[in-house]
Amino acid sequence: MIHSLRLIIVTPLIITRFDETEIASWYLFASLNLFGVIVAQRMGLTFSRMFSFAMGGASHLGPIREKLDQSKHEGPNWNSFEKAYGTIGAINIAIGVIGFIAALAMGWFGLSNLLIGYEGRSTVWIAFFIMQGAWLTTVIFQHYQIALQGMNYIALVNRWGVIFGVFSCLSGSLCLLFNGGLIAVVIVMQFFVTLEIVAARFLLRGVEGGRVLVFKSFRFDREAFGWAWAPTWKGFLAQFGFMGGLQVIAILFTAVTTKSEAASYFFALRMMQTVGRFAQAPFTCVLPLMSRLLTTGHVSELRKLVFVRAGISLALLALGVCFSALAIPVVLSYLKANISFIPIDVWLFFGLLTLLNQFNVFCGSVSAIGNEIIYYWHTAAAAIVSVVMFYYIGDSFGYYGPILSALLPLLFILNVGPFKRARDILEF
């Protein structure tokens, strides 16, 4: 919902009140946290599943690699939960600092290309540092939300996330309407993003008798880290293969194209990601439930849930891409935006490759709900091939170049492997 709200309210103001360089920089900001975001997300997913295992009564929170008998343990295992909770808190500090440094390095390359000869470059750099500071804060304290998600309070987290997201969008929109600059917009929007973390801590007081807040928030445990290590580093490689190719190549694209084309491509990439996130919601919102079903051996219920939710998500993605192809150019023309949309044939091709890759993501998620990450070397290799492919293609095929380079290697290298593994786990 929030991504849709930003698309409807904030995006029209950004593309009409910012110039091409500011628009490109705004959308580039999200790509510059690539490595930190992937590591934080993988850690979050891994520990969320571990918390789900613990809530199902498991004492060992390592990956589930085989079918389990229906659990006879009733109630959560708080000892294993506590080990995982303190460990993810400690790890998040390291992730935040390393991700911040990596973003600075990528920002030096990506933003430097965009800001050559631009008079307001100091404004862009200040906004970038403010956004990085907010990101660092949210990563360090994200274990509150991860715990709530693992305890299957996703609806509660999402409800408050929507509230703060709405305030963030409205405050950013008002700032733009009153001619606020890039720095002001970043400050007011990121304020509510960080405030969401504070709210998550208070939410923990109201669930399970506030039991979790008794635990140490930052206490590293080697056993818990051992449970998380394999699925996290494997998941990082897998997610980097799926996400990293697009983000890295988008940054590299700034070096071989004009500012206007870079702005158009970054905008299209953000729109595709927005459509994708909206479409994924029916599937991702039940991931903790899927983990619990797998932990307790309810394979038939898990199979039905996966089929229904994956089908809905893929249908929504296809419809979203087609609708966007018709609506976005009309909206941009009506708003008299300072950027143009990529050609419709390029957008539809982008959507087709995204749909095929999303099918592989859902298939891979079937094993990932048990923290067993598959085909991670394959996706990492695909990311490397993507960068090499783009090095030779460059801007020879216009917008097709970065899209082909980022997504085509994944389809060829993964092929039907994730589908076969999902079929084995779901027993169909």
**pLDDT band of 73, cuts 50, 70, 90:** low
Among 96-110, 200-214, 282-296, the minimum mean pLDDT is found in 282-296
Q: Which helix (H) or strand (E) holds 167?
A: helix 154-177
**pLDDT band of 31, cuts 50, 70, 90:** confident
pLDDT for residue 70: 46
- Taking the alpha carbons at both ends of the chain, their separation in whole angstroms is 34
Report how far residue 190's alpha carbon sits from residue 366's, in angstroms, rounded to the nearest whole number. 34
Question: Degrees (nearest 5) of the Cα angle 215, 220, 226?
Answer: 115
* Domain extent for 163: 2-426
Report how far residue 335's alpha carbon sits from residue 347's, in angstroms, rounded to the nearest whole number. 20
Mean pLDDT (whole number) for 213-224:
88
**pLDDT band of 102, cuts 50, 70, 90:** confident
User: Could you report the per-residue pLDDT of 13-28, keeping only the tens digit for each?
Assistant: 888 888 888 888 888 8
Number of domains in the chain: 1
Which of 370, 382, 368, 372 is CA-nearest to residue 415?
Answer: 382
Asked if 293 and 67 count as a contact pair (C-beta separation under 8 A), the reply is: no
Average pLDDT value for the chain: 85
**pLDDT band of 246, cuts 50, 70, 90:** confident
Asked if 47 and 228 count as a contact pair (C-beta separation under 8 A), the reply is: yes
User: Could you report the per-residue pLDDT of 383-408, keeping only the tens digit for each?
Assistant: 889 889 988 887 788 899 999 998 99
pLDDT for residue 69: 46
Asked if 82 and 271 count as a contact pair (C-beta separation under 8 A), the reply is: no
- The answer on pLDDT for 144 being more than 90 is yes
Which of 143, 52, 49, 155 is CA-nearest to residue 90?
Answer: 143
The secondary structure of residue 72, as a DSSP letter, is: -
pLDDT > 90: percent of the chain: 24
Mean pLDDT (whole number) for 52-69:
72
Report how far residue 367's alpha carbon sits from residue 357's, in angstroms, rounded to the nearest whole number. 16
Report how far residue 313's alpha carbon sits from residue 315's, in angstroms, rounded to the nearest whole number. 5
Asked if 95 and 40 count as a contact pair (C-beta separation under 8 A), the reply is: yes
Mean pLDDT (whole number) for 49-55:
86
- The answer on pLDDT for 9 being more than 90 is no
Q: Which amino acid is at 287?
A: L
**pLDDT band of 141, cuts 50, 70, 90:** very high
Asked if 230 and 43 count as a contact pair (C-beta separation under 8 A), the reply is: no
- The answer on pLDDT for 101 being more than 50 is yes
Residue 397, phi then psi, degrees to nearest 5:
-115, 20
User: Could you report the per-residue pLDDT of 327-370, keeping only the tens digit for each?
Assistant: 999 988 888 888 889 999 999 999 999 999 999 889 888 888 87
Spatial neighbors of 411 by CB under 8 A, at least 6 apart, are: 353, 356, 357, 360
Mean pLDDT (whole number) for 251-274:
85
Q: Which amino acid is at 144?
A: Y
